[in-house]
């Protein structure tokens, strides 16, 4: 059985003291979430070390939002996968559309990042998704398929045990415009088929595929009821502990 996951992506929000308070509130309320739903919070690099202390021993797992595509050395301003692992970070998001769009993240760089993250024992949440122009041109299946093939086809079935996929249509991120549950489900089913083509049906069945893009307490239940949607990657609504927990309780 694949894992149900509700992950919050804080993006570049909250100061460290505010982040600690938010993490504490999530941990406090986490007992009210069904035990088969895994909670993850992805926080800015500066927050990882103190937030690791807050989530220690709780049901909440810690994630970074990115990592470097190099192992170590003279790469000013970068944070390596090994550094993340050293502060008890369990996951990292990679390939978020904001990284692809604003920081030139390519599928080639992502292959390096995923390799380094896995080598350091991190689990990866790999994001894929089409932008509005691609959706309007009817290219959404093709774009998501290519993103999965370009990155994940470089890995093995064994690696896939530590990889979660997040489908985040760019036009739905932070816009208040959610993909309908039918629109999301058809892409999730397509992603699962693309995974099955390379890794076999069992690996595809066991891989969690999350939906992200204006997911909130009012639409989470409908989205999560779809057969191929295994949870959510939550942006804005993850900045309020009550909303984040209410989304997780939708299961
Ligand atoms: P919103 O939930 O704010 O639309 O953001 C989604 C997202 O990008 C999560 O990674």
The finding on whether 42 has its CB within 6 A of some atom of ligand 1 is no
Question: Is the pLDDT at 178 greater than 90, yes or no?
Answer: no
Q: Which pLDDT score is estimated for 1?
A: 81
CA–centroid distance, 42 to ligand 1, in Å, is: 12
Give the span between the Cα atoms of 186 and 184, in whole angstroms: 6
The finding on whether 236 has its CB within 6 A of some atom of ligand 1 is yes
Question: Is the pLDDT at 251 greater than 90, yes or no?
Answer: no
The first and second tokens of residue 77, run together, are 């301003």
Give the model's confidence band at 149: pLDDT under 50 very low, under 70 low, under 90 confident, else very high: very high
Give the span between the Cα atoms of 177 and 192, in whole angstroms: 24
What length is written for the chain?
A: 251
Q: Which pLDDT score is estimated for 232?
A: 98
The three-point CA angle 47-28-125 to 5° equals 50
Per 3-state DSSP, the chain is made up of helix, strand and coil in percentages (nearest 5) of 50, 15, 35
Could you read off the pLDDT of 36-58 as tens digits, one per residue? 999 999 999 999 999 999 999 99
């Amino acid at each position: 059985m694949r894992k149900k996951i509700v992950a919050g992506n804080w993006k570049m929000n909250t100061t460290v003291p505010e982040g600690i308070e938010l993490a504490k509130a999530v941990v406090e309320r986490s007992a009210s979430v069904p035990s088969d739903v895994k909670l993850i919070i992805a926080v800015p690099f500066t927050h990882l070390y103190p937030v690791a202390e807050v989530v220690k021993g709780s049901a909440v797992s810690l994630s970074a939002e990115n990592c470097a595509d190099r192992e170590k050395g003279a790469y000013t301003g970068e944070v390596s996968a090994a550094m993340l692992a050293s502060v008890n970070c369990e996951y990292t998001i990679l390939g978020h559309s904001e990284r692809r769009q604003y920081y030139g993240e390519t599928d080639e760089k992502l292959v390096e990042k995923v390799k380094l993250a896995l080598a350091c024992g991190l689990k990866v949440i790999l994001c894929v998704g089409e932008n509005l122009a691609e959706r309007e041109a009817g290219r959404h299946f093709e774009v998501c398929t290519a993103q999965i093939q370009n990155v994940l086809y470089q890995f093995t079935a064994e690696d896939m045990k530590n990889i979660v996929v997040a489908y985040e249509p760019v036009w739905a991120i932070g816009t208040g415009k959610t993909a309908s549950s039918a629109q999301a489900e058809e892409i999730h089913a397509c992603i699962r088929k693309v995974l099955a083509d390379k890794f076999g049906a069992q690996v595809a069945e066991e891989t969690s595929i999350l939906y992200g893009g204006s997911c909130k307490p009012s639409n989470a239940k409908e989205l999560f009821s779809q057969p191929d949607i295994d949870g959510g990657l939550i942006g804005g609504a993850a900045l309020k502990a009550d909303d984040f927990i209410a989304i997780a309780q939708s299961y």
